[in-house]
Amino acid sequence: MKRLSLFVFLGALCSPLCSLASPQADPAAPARVGVGITQRKLGLDEAIQLALENNLDIDIERTTRDNAAQAVAAARGFFDPSFRWTPLFTEDNTPVGSVLQGVGGKLSSRGVINNFSLRQKLDKWGTSGHLDFNNQRVTTNNPFANFNPTLSSTILAAIQQPLFRGFRIDRERAEIRIRQKQVDLAGVDLQTRVIDVVSRTQSAYYDLVASRESVVVAQEQVSLGREQFAINQRLVNTGTLAPVEISAAEAELQRRIDTWYATLAIVTEAENNLKLLLAAERKASIWGEQIIPTDDGLLRPGVEDLREAVDTAIQRRPELQGLTVRNAINDVQKDLNSDLRRAQVDVIAQYSLNGLAGTINTTPNPFANLNTPIYNRLNQLSAAAGLQPVNPDNSFGNVPTALIGGYGTNLSNLLGGNYQSFQIGLSIDLNLKNRSANAGYAQAMIAEKRLKLERARTEQLIEAQVRNALQSIETARQRIAATEASAAAAKEKLDSERRLYQTGESTNFLVLTRQNEYADSRRRTLVARLDFNKSVARLEQAIGTTLQAHKITVQ
């Protein structure tokens, strides 16, 4: 009884001394690799804004969308007008076996061709047409050619209009529609990437918040350990405590210092994970700064009713929007293959103006040369008989004077409209089996069925994700209440145990145990709060309201 009274007296004497003594300073923290003393206070909204501006994943996804837009422009290029100019020089030498074709057994001709062509296909109704302006100048050694050289020109306008296959859709227009839908799909993918980056930024931000608060808890535990070590040392010095208790207190203190070091390393890792989302490049200034989160409160769930959350998710989830776009692309493929199963019946119309001109050929007519001796003898006999001489007409008829001239005469005849041609008719192409189009249509129908199944599966996954997120929020809310109550109770137990220890009614082991219980309760509170905020972020992502909740517009 005397020893107990003495122990109580010494404990009471030590109590005011212990309360006045400050704990020993914490050991130096490990150096932060690559991080200076500059601190940057950062709120959650600012972190999200930095991530959206600098995140490389978003920039990469934007290039995909921009490339899809350029693919649309490339597909539209099929309907650009095409102009062609064809200047040609020709020289032909052909062996012939008749003097009626060429002199000396060779038919020679030289020509200059200067043609212009404009071709255009319309992006409606499958209509296509072309306009040609052809010019030719030919010289020849053919003795029977009336003109040498001969000039000719033609203006030709033609149009082709499908009646069945290719009227509503064809491969080119289908390609444009598909690529336009692919732009929408790339936009959905970009939106999905933005949502993912925002969600990861939220998660990384609150990981940093929790890790920094864990450091505070670890530091407090080190301070409590040092304080307990100092108390034990004084009690040992006064002879009221066994020396072995100093070793127990020191062992526990070093364990807590180790835990503190580990939490500091976790802070660096959490900070680097956040910086990876916020920095535009590895040389960005933010890599050398300490990030101090300023938003450490609990988020507020936007929706907590299950049916409302699921209905919102079905309307807003980008995955379902992507499936809608993919289904629209498949509809284009189905329409195209259905059209290809039709008969190809086209109306073809053609109108042309023709022009001709040339210089009269002065080469002697071979037939006239053969009869020249006969006409000479006949004229001699006619002169002796007092008759008029015979003037032979060696031509096959007179050339119209309107055709005699140069290129100007040729154009005048061309535009005068005296030499017109017109054609109209049908072009019918029947593929008796058409297995390619039938197989393509069947594949489109299979793809449509597959997309419906994928949509049903995705909706079911969304349902599960929404349910899990709501459950996580409710569970985390209850865990927060439980862990806060646990921390409060653990703090009361610790305070009580310390008072008992100072009066000699408790042990060093129990005090250290109560300190560890209090620290564990505080850590579990931090984890519960972290899980709550992460669950809210997951709920926003699950119902597709992440962008709306943070007032983000994807451009």
Asked if 194 and 547 touch (Cβ cutoff 8 Å), the reply is yes
If asked whether residues 455 and 513 sit together in one domain, one would say yes
| Domain final residue pick, 406, 429, 452 | 429
If asked whether residues 181 and 287 sit together in one domain, one would say yes
Question: With bands split at pLDDT 50, 70 and 90, how would you rate the model's confidence at 332?
Answer: very high
Q: What is the DSSP string of 379-408?
A: HHHHHHTTPPPP----SSSPPPGGGBSSHH
If asked whether residues 332 and 255 sit together in one domain, one would say yes
**Pick the residue with more confidence: 69 or 34?**
69
Q: What is the DSSP string of 210-252?
A: HHHHHHHHHHHHHHHHHHHHHHHHHHHHTTSS-THHHHHHHHH
In a domain, 371, yes or no: yes
**DSSP for residue 349:** E
If asked whether residues 248 and 390 sit together in one domain, one would say no
If asked whether residues 375 and 486 sit together in one domain, one would say no
- The number of beta carbons lying within 10 Å of the beta carbon of residue 402 is 13
Cα separation of 461 and 475, whole Å? 21
| Domain final residue pick, 394, 429, 464 | 429
Q: What was the pLDDT predicted at 370?
A: 61
User: By residue range, what is the domain housing residue 378?
Assistant: 81-123+127-165+344-429
| Domain final residue pick, 403, 429, 455 | 429
Q: What was the pLDDT predicted at 348?
A: 93
If asked whether residues 227 and 155 sit together in one domain, one would say no
Amino acid letter, 258 = D
Which sign does the torsion angle of CA 517, 520, 525, 528 carry? negative
**DSSP for residue 287:** G
Q: What was the pLDDT predicted at 11?
A: 37
Digit-coded pLDDT (tens) for 354-367: 999 888 877 666 66
Instruction: Give the contacts of 404 (CB within 8 A, at least 6 positions apart).
Output: 357, 358, 359, 360
Residue 459 in tokens: 């909706």
| Closest by CA position to 304, among listed 103, 542, 18, 33 | 542
pLDDT higher than 50, residue 156 = yes
Asked if 545 and 462 touch (Cβ cutoff 8 Å), the reply is no
Q: What was the pLDDT predicted at 21?
A: 32
In a domain, 240, yes or no: yes
Residue 110, H or E segment: strand 106-121
Tell me the β-bridge partners of 347. 161, 426
pTM: predicted TM-score of the whole model, two decimal places: 0.73
Asked if 115 and 132 touch (Cβ cutoff 8 Å), the reply is yes
Digit-coded pLDDT (tens) for 57-72: 888 888 989 999 999 9
Amino acid letter, 199 = S
CA angle 74, 80, 86 (to 5 degrees): 120
Asked if 269 and 42 touch (Cβ cutoff 8 Å), the reply is no
In a domain, 18, yes or no: no
| Closest by CA position to 234, among listed 10, 507, 505, 8 | 10
pLDDT higher than 60, residue 15 = no
Cα separation of 58 and 398, whole Å? 82
Asked if 340 and 440 touch (Cβ cutoff 8 Å), the reply is yes
Q: What was the pLDDT predicted at 449?
A: 94
Amino acid letter, 288 = G
Distance of CA 435 to the CA centre of its chain: 35
Lowest mean pLDDT among 54-58, 173-177, 484-488: 54-58
If asked whether residues 191 and 291 sit together in one domain, one would say yes
In a domain, 32, yes or no: no
pLDDT higher than 80, residue 479 = yes
Mean pLDDT rounded to a whole number for the chain: 85
Q: Are strands 106-121 and 82-95 parallel, antiparallel or unpaired?
A: antiparallel
pLDDT higher than 80, residue 185 = yes
If asked whether residues 293 and 366 sit together in one domain, one would say no
If asked whether residues 199 and 298 sit together in one domain, one would say yes
pLDDT higher than 50, residue 343 = yes
Digit-coded pLDDT (tens) for 205-256: 999 999 999 999 999 999 898 988 888 888 888 888 888 888 888 898 999 8
Number of domains in the chain: 2
pLDDT higher than 60, residue 8 = no
Distances (CA, A) of 230 to 216, 223, 246: 21, 11, 9
Question: With bands split at pLDDT 50, 70 and 90, how would you rate the model's confidence at 34?
Answer: confident
Distance of CA 134 to the CA centre of its chain: 47
Residue with tokens 């983000």: 552
Instruction: Give mean pLDDT, residues 369-380.
Output: 72
Q: What was the pLDDT predicted at 13?
A: 33
If asked whether residues 60 and 90 sit together in one domain, one would say no
**Pick the residue with more confidence: 392 or 351?**
351
pLDDT higher than 80, residue 22 = no
Which sign does the torsion angle of CA 249, 250, 252, 253 carry? positive
Asked if 544 and 197 touch (Cβ cutoff 8 Å), the reply is no
In a domain, 276, yes or no: yes
- The number of beta carbons lying within 10 Å of the beta carbon of residue 475 is 14
Q: What was the pLDDT predicted at 14?
A: 35
Half-sphere exposure of 37 (CA within 13 A, CB side): 0
In a domain, 304, yes or no: yes
Q: What was the pLDDT predicted at 368?
A: 60
Cα separation of 261 and 275, whole Å? 21
pLDDT > 90 in the chain, percent: 43
In a domain, 24, yes or no: no
Q: What was the pLDDT predicted at 101?
A: 67
**DSSP for residue 434:** -
Cα separation of 392 and 369, whole Å? 11
Question: With bands split at pLDDT 50, 70 and 90, how would you rate the model's confidence at 3?
Answer: very low
Question: With bands split at pLDDT 50, 70 and 90, how would you rate the model's confidence at 302?
Answer: confident
Q: What was the pLDDT predicted at 466?
A: 93
Q: What was the pLDDT predicted at 455?
A: 93
Digit-coded pLDDT (tens) for 385-432: 878 887 665 555 577 888 888 888 888 888 888 889 999 999 898 888
Instruction: Give the contacts of 82 (CB within 8 A, at least 6 positions apart).
Output: 118, 119, 120
pLDDT higher than 50, residue 20 = no
In a domain, 11, yes or no: no
If asked whether residues 412 and 443 sit together in one domain, one would say no
If asked whether residues 209 and 287 sit together in one domain, one would say yes
Looking at residue 484, which CATH number applies to its domain?
A: 1.20.1600.10
Residue 369 in tokens: 């040369």
Distance of CA 381 to the CA centre of its chain: 101
Q: What was the pLDDT predicted at 99?
A: 62
Q: 191 in helix, strand or coil?
A: helix
Cα separation of 248 and 217, whole Å? 21
pLDDT higher than 70, residue 10 = no
Q: What was the pLDDT predicted at 393?
A: 57
Digit-coded pLDDT (tens) for 421-469: 999 999 898 888 888 889 999 999 999 999 999 999 999 999 999 999 9
Q: Which residues of 272-284 are buried (b: 16+ CB within 10 A; e: fewer)?
A: bbbbebbbeeeee
Instruction: Give mean pLDDT, residues 145-157.
Output: 89
Distances (CA, A) of 326 to 69, 221, 411: 17, 57, 56
